[in-house]
Each structure stands twice: as structure tokens, then as C-alpha cells.
Structure 1
Amino acid sequence: MAKKNLGDIEDNNKNLGGVSALFNSPSKESSTKEEKQIVQPDEEIVTYPLRLKKSSLKALKILGAQRGVTVRELILSLVEKEYEV
């Protein structure tokens, strides 16, 4: 379905905040910025779901907070060290 331009539907109506972002087409400037960011990586990135016990995830979150890194970075560093990737 084609997007319709509803103009400034948000003006003078606090309950419709963000509606124009859903219905109006994106500006040309924002689309060129997104394209530049997508071109950067040389390797293809694939997502992979990882299932952890709640206690393990909680421990990783605490460890990550202590070290100042994310859980994702902790897991990736461990995989790289263990398998020498």
C-alpha cells in the first residue's frame, strides 16, 4: 500500500505524536545516510540466536557491567579466544 502524505497531522494534537513518521515518506537525506552505513562492513554479518539459562545471563550482565562492556561483546570475545577465530 502506498504511503499517503497527511501533511502536518501532529500539529495541535498531542495524541498523534510520531504519526507523520509512520505515514510520510522518509526524506532523501536520511535514506542516503543509511545507505552509506550499510556499505561499510566488508564481512557479511549473520545473526544467531543464543539460549542461556537465566542465572548465566544474569551473571554475564553483572560481569559486563563491572568491565564496562556488553553481554554480546563478552560472548564474542570468549568465542574468538576459545576457537581462535
Structure 2
Amino acid sequence: MAKKNLGDIEDNNKNLGGVSALFNSPLKDTHAKDAKQEILPEEEIVTYPLRLKKSSLKALKILGAQQGITVRDLILTVIEREYEV
């Protein structure tokens, strides 16, 4: 069954918050496709789980918030410096 466009059903009705996200078709985002294409073909990205103590993660989150960068970027920066990768 095709999604129906209900227009702005949420307007002037506080009980229907978020309903349009369920029923209206999403807008096509061409910017997201451009971001995916920026990754070079020879650069493959893999995920790796990292276990940290809660206190260490909390300290990294605070440090990241102070510097305006993510915990992931902090960890990657330290690894690159330490191992000259």
C-alpha cells in the first residue's frame, strides 16, 4: 500500500506530534549521497568495538565537549600520534 500524503496533519494538534514522519514520504537528500562519494575507493572503513571504563569515557566526553570535538576524533588523534599511522 502506498504512503498517503496527509499534508501538515500535525499543525494545530499537539496530540499528533511525529505522525507526519510516519505517513509522509521522506525528502530525497542529495547531499547525503555526495558525502558518501567523498570516501576514496582505496580507503576502506571498518568498525572496531572499543571497551573503556565508565570514568575514562566520561572524562573523554568532558574533554571533547571542551574542545568541541567528538570522543571518536579524540581517540583517533591519540592513536595516530602514538603509532604514527
Number of aligned residues: 83
TM-score normalised according to structure 2 size: 0.69
Q: Which moved more, 1:10-19 or 1:70-79?
A: 10-19
Corresponding residue of 1:37: 35
SS at match of 1:58: helix
- After TM superposition, the structure 1 = structure 2 runs for residues 3-82 of structure 1, keeping only pairs within 5 Å, are 3-27=3-27, 30-42=28-40, 43-82=43-82
Q: What is the alpha-carbon distance in structure 1 between the residues aligned to residue 31 and residue 9 of structure 2? A: 26
SS at match of 2:58: helix
Corresponding residue of 1:83: 83
SS at match of 1:6: coil
Q: What is the alpha-carbon distance in structure 2 between the residues aligned to residue 11 and residue 62 of structure 1? A: 39
Residue by residue over 1:13-37, the C-alpha shift from the partner in whole angstroms, topping out at 9 and shown as x without a partner, is 122123212221123xx42222122
TM-score normalised according to structure 1 size: 0.69
Q: What is the alpha-carbon distance in structure 2 between the residues aligned to residue 48 and residue 64 of structure 1? A: 20
Q: Which has the higher helix share?
A: 1
Q: Percent identity?
A: 76
- Consecutive unaligned residues in structure 2, runs of 5 or more: none
Q: What is the alpha-carbon distance in structure 2 between the residues aligned to residue 11 and residue 61 of structure 1? A: 37
